[in-house]
Structure 1
């Protein structure tokens, strides 16, 4: 039975700050503000989660310890042991699409949000990423630049920890890095092949602690299972690294199972006064009052909250006098390819787990002025001797139907059952490599999310409706990715698996939303007629309303968004502290 007393009690208190969402942005805001002495309340739609708690811990378990042998389910889209409670399709929480639109929206339902299972690729945006319009004439510049963000990137590096190397790259800036892990065999082969092709390859920049940085967190012991959540807190998850310390200050009240419905406002002043929400277990509605409201529920959920927060003063949704809320949503481009490397067949067995993910990566290296598309992409590499799991990681299924020679020189198709399956797995184990491009789209006003006038979720809250299409820019970028992957595979002496994607399927370009990097639904800007927030992520229309997730992004960058969410949230939180001291909030 769910105890609602804490929810009832929360209605009686007026908090300094109410934060919606506990992921990267919400966690950083809570951590920063609570450490400064503010009384903070976090609303989280999902359940509590602590990767070191025995009831939550899945680290170091074998697939056979799962009833589904580790397979995925509707609320575990990446496998039964993955630290991702949520998914693209959640029962009772629909979203809709306009005709012809493809957009898949991943929602996380746990404390810490998506940071519990992400790839932890931790890249700063560079100087060019904030000023794309000035470079290629497309989209818009941010109202801030790299110099404005650098001090906060520096603080995030040192607070949370990220490994890598300083390479002096202009648009992939240096930072405060821990020692990177050494490349594994397949990564050494990739480096060699890339060198011959003129494709740069550097140590990855990822937020795992290769050595301790404080007494509260352990260091990585290289089990390669970061996606499951780390019981030693050696990787970055907002739940363990930000939210837990924020609660331990005694200044933070965490309310899980709290699905935010709308931002409440004072009818006279128009200021935000708190947030109403539905308890997902009891279906009872509550409210929590606050002097300041910070939305950090993800770009989509934040837009939904803003648009659903209607009143006489804000008929189109709070902070939406510009009509821009929900517009310019964009997700990273993504295309992938895999291959088998014959020279690695029957390779010697040894432990090469490393961190959970790549040890090397390729940042964007070309001049777009010489290409038929603007904006670039980086390359992520996979492979090696991971935990055995049928159909996952070695391309056995991709080899089915292709004649191979077994150890006795007899032609046979790969895979099968029983002894032949075991034989092929032993032969091909460790010979698989994978390539994934993650790139920058050009934000467009006609890519947007809005409130569906006819559909509500099980809590009675109107849902989002998406309208999104890739342009030729993104399709051409995906083609370049595929051509590059083929070059690398051939240079490695490998054989690509499956048919190379072509124009008929957009060269393998993932559907929007599938990369789970959506940004930009409440963009910042200097002109309140064309933006939702100012350069401090403060609503133009409501001075005590802030946004601290990826919604303020003006553009995506060819980097993963998390490190910039963290730095931007830290910057916004310090601005709130400063304005409170000055009596402006």
Structure 2
């Protein structure tokens, strides 16, 4: 147990304390508060409401930023991006062990990472829950698609997303709003991809193309969803879940609360609450609660459990199996950009659209006929979006392809002319794939280091396997085929084996899952099928840490659905006096 000397204790005993306000924590707070539970919601970062003038960056011009929109360590995606946090936070160190690599992104704000994500909202398919039995590689989940499908439907209706019904077996259809039309570069991508046998369908993303209730407006196509939407037309946990949960009167929100550990009763072993450090006054506080729900993010939830040691839980809480921290995995990622001469010298018109892609490619091949065991999807970008920091510098990558090797760019009038001619003529393709979860990829408590708040930090052991490298090679081959069919010019040399074919570093895609996995066997898993700890029945984890495998999809929709499912289970268990 961490030092608890002089901890200030909250007098109230809450029904539930929830750690983390992202997709999982926000959904749990919303559902439990609506059911009448008295909830304490702890968030390690500050308050955020994209409709509050104090926080608005939407529709601002680059010159309204001191850095003209450039990134900072605490705004990794640009000065106007809604995400507060990054891979390197001065007060929160971590390390990767020698010979391995992992980049750990932390979002410190109400709503967590949902304020920055691309809002790609894909359901896991039937096969994604049964990879072990279907392929002999990896493990099955303790639930199937049929268990979570009703909750996907609930999330679709509550949150809202656009898309189209396509009837693809392992890319299940949802309940959709009308999708926006493809833009010119996307029509060209779709045509070229079809010629090489790659499907391209409308995206499935959490922006409201039509209003769904009185509290949220419809998208007005500014293309700046990453900044947070004043109309609440895109989904973020802060605006759609957390703020409405607080408005019920049943939620006490505490910001800047860096949770240290979960406390347990020495006799029963049950969770009794959590302690945290207030990041403003640096003092320790304790929250008492009948039920503890962790949703701090995959690695943070594991850190809290591993730091929650006691005489009954000497290896950390919910860790009698020894799997907490293990089977960490992040989506694979590789990309390629291209210059498309046919898109040069375009007439100017508003092509912003939603903040992201209007079309994407779901996995389309049979892995049993390939040399890697899991698939990927492709995300596309390009077009005449609003220029931002660094705009136009892609010209350097196509310099050698111009007649007579005409010098591009430079300064003054020549630079402006070239930028105008090439505006909208660049596209980019990104693969996002499923890795194989390995026990050898894990995080653990660093015995030699603490953060600013006195909490032991994490150290990581993570290496890509040959499976992920081969998958990245396939991505690059596919990108080249599509680019060539478009009449485009790929920018730079094609990544090769020396760079793992452009495979992103583990953690850079920010989709990590798996450190507190669920399962039917308590000796091999930390949680049961309800995301309830085998060892501590009043402890639940509702972020992506329980997930057994990644899928070739973004995980947010599954976090939302599974958190809602767990919340309903908690409500039922309380009503029947089983918790």
TM above 0.5, yes or no, is yes
Secondary structure of the corresponding residue to residue 373 of structure 2? coil
Q: How many Å separate the matches in 2 of 1:397 and 1:503?
A: 24
Secondary structure of the corresponding residue to residue 289 of structure 2? strand
Summarize the alignment of residues 96-245 of structure 1 with structure 2, pairs less than 5 Å apart.
96-245=95-244
Q: How many Å separate the matches in 1 of 2:334 and 2:447?
A: 34
Aligned pair count reads 573
Q: How many Å separate the matches in 1 of 2:447 and 2:410?
A: 51
Please point out which of 394, 417, 422 is paired with 2:416: 422
User: Tell me, which stretches of 5 or more residues in structure 1 are unaligned?
Assistant: 1-6
Q: How many Å separate the matches in 2 of 1:394 and 1:435?
A: 18
Q: How many Å separate the matches in 1 of 2:36 and 2:457?
A: 36
Secondary structure of the corresponding residue to residue 458 of structure 2? strand
Residues 93-142 of structure 1 deviation map (CA, whole Å, 9 limit, x = unaligned):
00111111110000000000000011000000000000001111111000
Q: How many Å separate the matches in 2 of 1:546 and 1:390?
A: 42
Confirm whether residue 569 of structure 1 aligns to residue 563 of structure 2.
Answer: yes
Q: How many Å separate the matches in 2 of 1:480 and 1:521?
A: 28
Contact 1:394–1:431 under 8 Å retained in 2: no
Confirm whether residue 550 of structure 1 aligns to residue 544 of structure 2.
Answer: yes
What is the Cα deviation at residue 397 of structure 1?
3.1
Secondary structure of the corresponding residue to residue 11 of structure 1? strand
Task: Tell me the residue number matched to 2:446.
Answer: 452
Residues 331-366 of structure 1 deviation map (CA, whole Å, 9 limit, x = unaligned):
000000000000111111100100000000000000
Residues 379-422 of structure 1 deviation map (CA, whole Å, 9 limit, x = unaligned):
0000000122353477223234x2635xxxx7522222222211
Task: Tell me the residue number matched to 1:323.
Answer: 322
User: Tell me, which stretches of 5 or more residues in structure 2 are unaligned?
Assistant: 1-6
Moved over 4 A (4+): none
Task: Tell me the residue number matched to 2:57.
Answer: 58
CA RMSD of aligned residues (A): 1.1
Q: How many Å separate the matches in 2 of 1:423 and 1:316?
A: 64
Please point out which of 463, 472, 483 is paired with 1:478: 472
Task: Tell me the residue number matched to 2:495.
Answer: 501
Contact 1:394–1:429 under 8 Å retained in 2: no
Residues 193-222 of structure 1 deviation map (CA, whole Å, 9 limit, x = unaligned):
011111111100000000000000000000
Q: How many Å separate the matches in 1 of 2:177 and 2:186?
A: 20
Contact 1:399–1:414 under 8 Å retained in 2: no
Contact 2:26–2:111 under 8 Å retained in 1: yes
Task: Tell me the residue number matched to 1:276.
Answer: 275
Q: How many Å separate the matches in 2 of 1:523 and 1:434?
A: 34
What is the Cα deviation at residue 92 of structure 1?
1.4
Confirm whether residue 436 of structure 1 aligns to residue 430 of structure 2.
Answer: yes
Contact 2:120–2:204 under 8 Å retained in 1: yes
Secondary structure of the corresponding residue to residue 13 of structure 1? strand
Contact 1:391–1:397 under 8 Å retained in 2: no
TM-score by length of structure 1 reads 0.97
Secondary structure of the corresponding residue to residue 520 of structure 1? coil
Q: How many Å separate the matches in 2 of 1:97 and 1:218?
A: 43
Summarize the alignment of residues 285-296 of structure 1 with structure 2, pairs less than 5 Å apart.
285-296=284-295
Secondary structure of the corresponding residue to residue 320 of structure 1? coil
TM-score by length of structure 2 reads 0.98
